[in-house]
Amino acid sequence: MKKSLIVAIAGLLVATAVPASAQSYHSDARQYRQQERIERGYRHGRISPREAARLERQQRRIERVERRARYYNNGRIDPRSAHKIKRMQDRANHAIRRANRDGYYR
């Protein structure tokens, strides 16, 4: 009896741990932070209107790729798409940093 109870509890723990590790990729927080950095740079005069428009376009493109990946995979993002989105966000992050530090000041 004791042995079967331990096995049942162990099985339950494993069953609850697997879905937690298999959760889909979320980049919303990163998108939000990048958007905030663009707006802050523009507001403080470190990013020109043209640069801000280009960076906004880049953010919309990333959102579109993520939305499309979720559409084709039943609301989840597969590892290949997650990697692609992460690379796009890394590039956007670098572009935002470069725009904020390029010496433009209004």
The string of pLDDT tens digits covering residues 56-99 is 999 999 999 999 999 999 999 999 999 999 999 999 999 999 99
The string of pLDDT tens digits covering residues 5-55 is 565 566 666 665 545 445 555 678 999 999 999 999 999 999 999 999 999
**3-class SS string, the chain:** CHHHHHHHHHHHHHHHHHHHHCCCCCCHHHHHHHHHHHHHHHHCCCCCHHHHHHHHHHHHHHHHHHHHHHHHCCCCCCHHHHHHHHHHHHHHHHHHHHHHCCCCCC
Residue 103 binned pLDDT confidence (cut-offs 50, 70, 90): confident
